[in-house]
Structure 1
Amino acid sequence: MTTYDDAHLRIAAAAAIRAPSLHNSQPWRFRLREGAIEVLADRSRQLAVADSAGWALHIALGAATFNARVALAAHGVPADVTLLPRDAGSDVIARLTPGTPRPPTYREQAMAEAIPRRYSNRQPFWPDPVPSPARVELIEAARAEGAWLDLLVGMTPLAGFAEIAQSADRVLRRDPEYQAELMAWSHTDGAPQGVPVTAGAPAAEPQDLLPQRPFAEHRRAPGRDFEPEPLVGILGTRGDVPIDQLVAGQALQRVLLTVVDLGLACSMISQPIEVPAARDQLCRSLRRSGSAQMALRIGYGHAGHPGPRRALEDVLAGPGEEPETR
């Protein structure tokens, strides 16, 4: 097989749009060009305040690229991926060209089936611990994509992380422009982007260990406190230039799909990544020389629902069409 066609584009894009993005901003478009599928940055959806440097944009696009890879592999037409191809425009984040056709592996099939079931679960988890074999699988998932995942074991490192995360959250809450942008991406009207209030965490209470974004202000049910000792993972890479962030996005999505396949739940905690001083402090606490790219809270939780997404037709670009810019 030498080229992809429009049917392959739609298979890849339908899976890619299920990737996570900061505030569910969905900053991507996809097109077929010269037999290759290209993942494009839609910079009109880059968050001006929370993501002025483009870190979250690249994380989201890396995750979308991974979903596209998995979907194509599951259909027997795996892709060779080039990140930031030099011969393309600045908005071409990844190019997927056909590899050798073959049946999907068991792992590829399992991840493809997990894509439509992945969502951020911001509700309290059950106190049941995540077993060691599952923890090993999560670490290996990140490593398979060229990233690292450190799982915090014991209350001492967990308390240290919680202090860093809460401090970063306070910094962000004091920024009125940041809060206005956050509220602009929260909604109740069935919009195809942003975070519905029904997907938000219950209102914060003094006993909560980790911060939650105020997408909603509903109270929690009696006896439904957050777990006292959550499993927290820090995902990182060796560097922090755009290609490292794309690698991190692919690794993040592989970890998240592994979470689903293992019957676990997950939510992301990006506040300590968004505040530079907190991010540096977090890496020092881990004794890592690389760059932290995302924090994850992992456990067992009640079933929920994936967030809204734009229609497929809204994210498909023509062969010569570029995304709108600000």
Structure 2
Amino acid sequence: MDKTFQCLLVSSNETGGYDTTISTKQVIDLPARDVLIRVHYSSLNYKDALSASGNKGVTRSYPHTPGIDAAGVVEASHSAHWQPGDEVIVTGFDLGMNTSGGFAQYIRVPANWIVRRPESLTLRESMIYGTAGFTAGLSVAALLKNGLTPDHGTVLVTGATGGVGSVAVGILHRLGFAVIAVSGKATAHDFLTSLGATDIIPRSDMDDTSGKALLKSRFAGAIDTVGGNVLATVIKSTEYGGTVTCCGNVNGGDLPLSVFPFILRGVQLVGIDSVQFPIDQRAAVWERLANDWKPAALELMTYEIGLAALPEAIQTILKGQMQGRTLVRID
């Protein structure tokens, strides 16, 4: 297919840095995969910003088009599972990492990376969620699987103004949980309250340096998005039999913790991975996000931009100043 399209292209420069430009590419240059998708929406995640900054732990070679999320319409397919006109979602796997990603009008991907758009979710809404929202959904699913219900008590969400955190607050509120949000942003109170948080506490309150093996029990469960000592403090503050999920490491990859919360309080720590989550289980999570988990405040957490505004938005998220979800309108 000899067709051109617009994309965000990241290239190395002579000074050793990386430049982002809106460029024109040809569909024929995309990787030889099963399904060609015309992208309508994507979303901005921290991993995209790392890829756009030349982080070799995310993307090995450049020039490259980031974008770990994409939602659009199948234009051509070599797979019997997908037909032209199908409306689909792609998140995770290698999209936007070492495979040309969703910050482009076209992607070409393997058939087994694709999920059909749920009937009650628009393509736009699916990318308000994106990988961050899908990760929030997996985190909530883990709490529910381990038996947590609203009558057990309060659920804590750290990094609550971020992508995963804001969606998690909204989902938990929709399900009837009392949610305490943790944020380092002093101006975030109104935003988090609008999503359904019943209380907001500063990040410093969840960064214990006392060295104690256990702290006062405060939460029935928690969704942690930052890691490090904050995660350790959360675990030490979780009630007997509670569950804590972990999906991020912006606060560090080490976990300064003893075994006592696990063997004296029976706390469970569940790791959440949305990249390689099995494709045969993804559709069920998307159905829940489309229906009984959908936050009433989904639009309130959304900031919409076009391709041209991506370079500035990437710098914003790298500085830790992003709030909620950044939806990227591609088509």
Normalised by the size of structure 2, how large is the TM-score?
Answer: 0.31
Q: Which has the higher contact order (CA 8 A, sep 6+)?
A: 1
Normalised by the size of structure 1, how large is the TM-score?
Answer: 0.31
Larger proportion of strand? 2
Bigger Cα Rg: 2
